[in-house]
């Protein structure tokens, strides 16, 4: 009883160590130990206090399986008065200590979880096992409480260590303020932000840390927290550092309460957003500058466009006027050359008749050039008119072939009409469509090879378009010149070919196709030939 009174005044680990000696003395057992089950595996036991015969021995851990301790956790109080080794032949510790009898009782936490056991063992059979069990049972509540407290204390210490580590190493600035608004703890990130040591900042008031311009908003936040408003309150704060430079911080402020909801302290988490704010301001300045430059450049482009449009209109008007002035005398030359040719047909020599024919042919070529220039001027100035109607493409192709067959025969080129499409009409100006086809077909003949071919195809495209293709086996267009094909006054073949041309036809063709709602393009390979295509809308009956 005296031992019991003495042990009552001891607490903690000292109690857990001393109680095994007291229990061995009161029960008469040679071995007494307290074991704690290891978590989370629950398959090993760690002895935390072990009395053996006449002294405390080093603690150790052991596997729970195939031991009498396993029965303790499974069945509760476990008693083996003798022959315990026969029941657990795989338990090497029983053999090592020569154990013959065993009494074990489980220990439970305040939550009712099994946390360990207390066991008494002897190397001889015991007759008073119930008495031993009763004495052990008297102390299990106290032993369990001390063990529970020890574990809780370890968990708290571990939690505090983790918190302290996170607090000190956090990339965000963290400060704790008491309910009166005085700082009592701050991590290095927070103090570095203010270029101070923690000792300098202790007892600094919350509102006093920041500039006066932020005082009203911070007072509102502080008042809301003190008055019980939960949650995180955020604000972007600007303030001056010791060296006079400006800094920006994003602060988040919240309450820490006890279980009853009473305010314990106020937490302030601060992130340096100075670089972000500066970048945002620089971006805004750059954006404003860019908008100004774009506006300025747009005005310059609009002015340049107006000048170009005026120049283009002046050019078109000049070409139109010049062409009209040229065409009048040219018609006279053509008329008189034809009269001369007819008048001297039987009187002049073949040589002089050839001269007259050359004058007439050159005049015809020049008239064609003037007509094309006039056509181009009309289109560019917007004065060209289009009578869009339903046009049978087969009919137009037949008319074109009738006009070009003699030229094709002269150039020894064969034209194949591969268009098999029937009962389709395109929405187009009849005269303009014929002009497009004549231009493309005449080019295919003109730039072909002896015994060459030209093939015409028509096919449906996307359901609402017809595609015309003119494929030749001619000399082709070099890649370096292909980007110039539709430019005005650009000829893809030098004068050495002897082929006449103005360099306007394809430009006019492209503009006509586009004006009638279509597209035009081509592919070409030198020595193989070219394929020009264009699309026009299918005529939709209403």
pLDDT in tens, 322-366: 656 666 676 667 676 777 767 766 666 767 677 776 776 666 666
Selection from 487, 473, 477, 471 nearest residue 533 by Cα: 471
The low-confidence residues of the chain, meaning pLDDT below 70, are: 1-8, 155-156, 158-161, 210-216, 242, 312, 315-328, 330-332, 334, 336, 341, 344-348, 350, 352, 357, 360-377, 380-382, 491-502, 541-542
pLDDT the model gives residue 369: 63
Angstrom distance (rounded) from CA 320 to CA 376 = 9
Inter-axis angle of helices 274-343 and 350-381, nearest 10: 150
Give the span between the Cα atoms of 145 and 15, in whole angstroms: 11
Do 2-164 and 171-272 show the same overall fold?
Answer: yes
What stretch of H or E contains 27? Answer: helix 12-27
Q: Name the class of domain 388-537.
A: alpha beta
Report residue 279 CA to chain centroid gap. Answer: 21
Quote the radius of gyration of the chain (alpha carbons, Å): 53
Whole-angstrom distance, CA of residue 421 vs CA of residue 397: 12
Strands 529-537 and 520-525 turn out to be: antiparallel
Retrieve residue 267's tokens. Answer: 């937490």
Domain 171-272 grouped into CATH 3.30.450.20: yes
User: What would the two tokens of residue 517 be?
Assistant: 């709602």
Distance CA 181, CA 175 (A): 11
The CA distance from 483 to 212, in Å, is 68
SS3 152: helix
Q: What is the pLDDT of residue 148?
A: 83
Distance from C-alpha of 322 to C-alpha of 324, rounded to nearest angstrom: 5
Query: Distance between CA 98 and CA 84 in Å, rounded?
Result: 10
User: Would you state the pLDDT for residue 199?
Assistant: 84
Q: What is the pLDDT of residues 27-66, one digit of tens each?
A: 999 999 999 988 888 889 999 899 999 999 998 899 999 9
In contact, 103 and 130? CB cutoff 8 Å: no
Largest separation between any pair of C-alpha atoms in the chain: 166
pLDDT digit string, tens, across residues 173-230 = 888 888 888 888 888 888 888 788 888 888 888 777 766 566 667 777 778 877 777 7
Phi, psi of 492 (to 5 degrees): -80, -10
pLDDT for position 5: 45
What's the confidence (pLDDT) of residue 215? 61
Quick one: pLDDT at residue 542?
Answer: 47
Distance CA 518, CA 516 (A): 6
- Rounded to whole angstroms, how far apart are CA atoms 121 and 33? 9
Separation CA 210–CA 500 (nearest Å): 86
| Residue 500 confidence (pLDDT) | 61
Contacting residues for 472 by C-beta, under 8 A, at least 6 apart? 444, 445, 447, 448, 452, 453, 454, 455, 529, 530, 531
Structure confidence at residue 81 (pLDDT): 94
Q: Which CATH class is domain 278-381?
A: mainly alpha
Locate 91 and state its tokens: 């338990």
> Is the pTM for the entire model greater than 0.75?
no
Q: What is the pLDDT of residue 24?
A: 92
CB 77 within 8 A of CB 55: no
Q: Is the dihedral of CA 75, 78, 80, 81 positive or negative?
A: negative
Spatial CA neighbour of 538 closest among 428, 447, 457: 428
Report how far residue 508's alpha carbon sits from residue 86's, in angstroms, rounded to the nearest whole number.
113
Q: What class, spelled out in words, does domain 2-164 have in CATH?
A: alpha beta
**Among 152, 61, 153, which residue's Cα sits nearest to residue 109?**
152
What residues does each domain of the chain span? 2-164, 171-272, 278-381, 388-537
β-strand 413-417 against 452-461: which pairing, if any?
parallel
- For residue 202, the 8-state DSSP code is T
Output the six-digit token pair for 89: 């032949």
Q: Quick one: the chain helix, strand, coil %, rounded to 5? A: 50, 25, 25
Element (H, E) at 256: strand 246-257
Residue of 173, 206, 178 whose CA lies nearest to 190: 173
Residues sharing a CB contact under 8 Å with residue 94, sequence separation 6 or more, in sequence order: 67, 68, 84, 85, 88, 102
Spatial distance between the Cα atoms of 122 and 477, rounded to a whole number of angstroms: 111
> CA nearest 436: which of 506, 371, 367?
506
């Amino acid at each position: 009883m005296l031992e019991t009174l003495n042990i009552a005044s001891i607490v903690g680990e000292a109690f857990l160590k001393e109680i095994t000696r007291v229990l061995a003395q009161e029960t008469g057992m040679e071995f007494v130990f307290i074991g704690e089950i290891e978590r989370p595996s629950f398959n090993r036991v760690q002895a935390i206090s072990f009395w053996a015969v006449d002294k405390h021995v080093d603690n150790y851990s052991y596997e729970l399986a195939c031991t009498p301790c396993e029965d303790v956790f499974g069945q509760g109080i476990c008693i083996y008065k003798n022959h315990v080794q026969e029941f657990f032949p795989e338990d090497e510790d029983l053999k090592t200590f020569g154990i013959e009898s065993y009494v074990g009782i489980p220990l439970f936490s305040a939550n009712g979880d099994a946390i360990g056991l207390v066991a008494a063992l002897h190397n001889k059979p015991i007759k008073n096992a119930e008495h031993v069990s009763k004495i052990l049972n008297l102390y299990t509540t106290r032993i369990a409480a001390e063990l529970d407290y020890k574990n809780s204390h370890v968990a708290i210490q571990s939690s505090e260590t983790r918190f302290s580590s996170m607090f000190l190493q956090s990339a965000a600035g963290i400060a704790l303020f008491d309910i009166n608004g005085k700082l009592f703890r701050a991590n290095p990130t927070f103090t570095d932000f203010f270029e101070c040591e923690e000792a300098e900042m202790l007892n600094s008031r919350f509102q006093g840390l920041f500039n006066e311009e932020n005082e009203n908003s911070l007072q509102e936040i502080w008042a809301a927290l003190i008055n019980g408003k939960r949650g995180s309150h955020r604000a972007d704060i600007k303030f001056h550092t010791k060296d006079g430079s400006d800094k920006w911080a994003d602060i988040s402020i919240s309450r820490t309460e006890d279980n009853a909801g009473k305010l314990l302290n106020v937490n302030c988490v601060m992130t340096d957003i100075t670089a972000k704010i500066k970048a945002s301001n620089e971006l805004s300045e750059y954006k404003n500058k860019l908008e100004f430059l774009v506006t300025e450049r747009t005005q310059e482009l609009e002015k340049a466009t107006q000048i170009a449009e005026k120049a283009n209109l002046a050019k078109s008007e000049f070409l139109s006027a010049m062409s009209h002035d040229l065409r009048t005398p040219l018609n006279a030359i053509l008329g008189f050359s034809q009269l001369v040719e007819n008048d001297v047909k039987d009187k002049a020599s073949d040589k002089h008749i050839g001269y007259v024919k050359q004058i007439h042919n050159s005049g015809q070529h020049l008239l064609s050039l003037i007509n094309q220039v006039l056509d181009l001027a009309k289109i560019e100035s917007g004065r060209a008119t289009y009578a869009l109607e339903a046009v049978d493409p087969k009919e137009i192709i037949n008319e074109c072939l009738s006009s070009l067959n003699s030229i094709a025969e002269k150039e020894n080129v064969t034209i194949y009409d591969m268009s098999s499409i029937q009962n389709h009409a395109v929405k187009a100006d009849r005269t303009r469509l014929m002009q497009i086809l004549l231009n493309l077909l005449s080019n295919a003949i003109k730039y072909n090879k002896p015994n060459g071919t030209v093939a015409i195809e028509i096919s449906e495209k996307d359901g609402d378009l017809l595609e015309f293709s003119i494929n030749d086996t001619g000399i082709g267009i070099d890649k370096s010149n292909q980007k110039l094909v539709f430019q005005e006054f650009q000829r893809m073949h030098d004068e050495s070919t002897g082929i006449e041309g103005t360099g306007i036809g394809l430009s006019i063709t492209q503009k006509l196709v586009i004006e009638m709602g279509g597209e035009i393009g081509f592919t070409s390979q030198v020595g193989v030939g070219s394929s020009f295509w264009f699309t026009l809308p299918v005529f939709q009956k209403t």
